[in-house]
Amino acid sequence: MTAGGRTFDRRLFRAGGAVPPEERGWPSFRGAINEAMREEMRRDPSVFQMGEDIAGAPPFGVTTGLAAEFGTERVRDTPCSEVAVVGAAVGAAIGGMRPIVEFQFGDFLSVAMDQLTHQAAMLRYLTGGQVTVPLVLRLPCGGGQGAGSQHSQALYSWFAHAPGIKVALPATSADAKGLMRAAIRDDNPVLFFEHKMLYRTRWPVPAEFKDPDYLIPFGRAAVRRAGSDVTVVATLVTLHHTLAAAEGLAAEGVSVEVIDPRTLVPLDGDTIVASVRKTGRLLVVDEAYLTCSIQSEVIALVTERAFGALRAAPRRLGNPGVPVPFPPLLEDAVLPGPADIAAAIREMVLS
């Protein structure tokens, strides 16, 4: 099956096509995040938001309507200073608040590395648990929109390397809502990466979400498609490219199992390893730069825990290590798409 019951085609997203009739009742990816934050702000008065233009004209529309309901004390527009905003949010979290910070582009989190990795991530450890930092950073990420090199990166592998930080990678509306609820209630700093190509896509959300305490726990992967010939671990938009490739390969007699980690930290290694023990093959797909990447980490984990189960060398797809180009054709050449994924699977299974 496809994630959430549908497939994904970035060409349709770029064209801004009409929503199919069967999807009109489904919440959009960005709408699901908005709803989760709205519900948590109603439930807990310590939750508030900060970011550039989030109260007036939010750049991706995710915070639309929140300032009208909660006022500009709890939905605060900030100056264009990532260092100041993250620093203020860390202080607020230490003081008992639960801030949610929106970056217009997740790439610019690099400007506030000290506040995040040296302060927010370490304070709980350095104080023996006396201080917690319940902070959520919302980070639009990824390519596919021709936004240029400085606005199209997938940098979550950087922050998975820093102890004390949790990293969420939602790929459907249900995951966006469930993981956001869990992130806001977590007592640790959480980086919530939102792929820009997913914002306008729509997905069904199960009835369980009517329960305000229904969460998607961190560290629990989802098997998006069952298969027997090869395991593909994929995230964000590449998950949907993988599902599209798997549908096509099924007609060729190739059975692909697709795993969505949902969170990079903590990582559900048990689900991934169990799948590889069944299929004997592993491909890891992501937009991250390949060097020291999520792809590399997953392959290392599997080779340490299930080397004897492998019938072929594990493979990885991702950005080979170049800035994401601005022209769409060059961007598509750098980032893995359905055709690249299908070709890699054929080589692994049929060669």
Residue 151 binned pLDDT confidence (cut-offs 50, 70, 90):
confident
Residue whose C-alpha is closest to residue 4's, from 237, 218, 203, 293: 203
Angle in degrees, CA 47, 49, 88, rounded to 5: 95
- Sequence-distant (6+) residues with CB within 8 A of 200 are 13, 16, 28, 29, 30
pTM, rounded to two decimals: 0.92
Whole-number Å distance between alpha carbons of 13 and 15 = 5
**323 or 11, which is more confident?**
323
CB atoms within 10 A of CB 238: 30
Q: How far is CA 293 from the centre of its chain?
A: 14
Q: What are phi and psi of 89, to 5 degrees?
A: -65, -40
Residue 64 binned pLDDT confidence (cut-offs 50, 70, 90):
very high
280-335 pLDDT, tens digit each: 999 999 999 999 999 999 999 999 999 999 999 999 999 999 989 888 888 889 99
Whole-number Å distance between alpha carbons of 49 and 113 = 20
Q: Per-residue pLDDT for 3 more than 80?
A: no
Domains and CATH numbers, the chain: 3-210 (3.40.50.970), 222-350 (3.40.50.920)
18-43 pLDDT, tens digit each: 555 556 678 899 999 999 999 999 99
CB atoms within 10 A of CB 291: 12
**Cα-based torsion angle of the residue sequence 23, 258, 242, 292 in order, rounded to the nearest 10 degrees:** 130
Please confirm, yes or no, whether 151 is among the known catalytic residues: yes
pLDDT at 44: 97
Task: Give percent of the chain with pLDDT exceeding 70.
Answer: 93
Contact 140, 106 (CB under 8 A): yes
Whole-number Å distance between alpha carbons of 136 and 134 = 7
65-122 pLDDT, tens digit each: 999 999 999 999 999 889 999 999 999 999 999 999 999 888 899 899 999 999 999 9
Whole-number Å distance between alpha carbons of 39 and 96 = 19
Contact 120, 187 (CB under 8 A): no
- Joined tokens for residue 254: 């190739």
Tell me the mean pLDDT in the region 203-230.
94
Highest mean pLDDT: which range of 51-55, 139-143, 272-276: 272-276
Tell me the mean pLDDT in the region 266-279.
98
Tell me the mean pLDDT in the region 139-149.
86
- Joined tokens for residue 113: 């590395």
Active-site entry in 118, 151, 195, 240: 151
Residue whose C-alpha is closest to residue 187's, from 135, 225, 145, 142: 135
Tell me the mean pLDDT in the region 160-187.
96
H or E, element range at 12? helix 10-15
pLDDT at 204: 86
Residue whose C-alpha is closest to residue 236's, from 269, 266, 273, 199: 199
Count CA atoms within 13 Å of residue 236 on its CB side.
31
pLDDT at 277: 98
Whole-number Å distance between alpha carbons of 155 and 26 = 29
* Averaged pLDDT score across all residues of the chain: 91
H or E, element range at 48? strand 47-51
**14 or 267, which is more confident?**
267
- Sequence-distant (6+) residues with CB within 8 A of 198 are 29, 171, 236, 237
E runs forming strands in 46-86:
47-51, 75-77
pLDDT at 19: 54
Angle in degrees, CA 285, 203, 151, rounded to 5: 50
Residue 5 binned pLDDT confidence (cut-offs 50, 70, 90):
very low
Whole-number Å distance between alpha carbons of 159 and 284 = 19
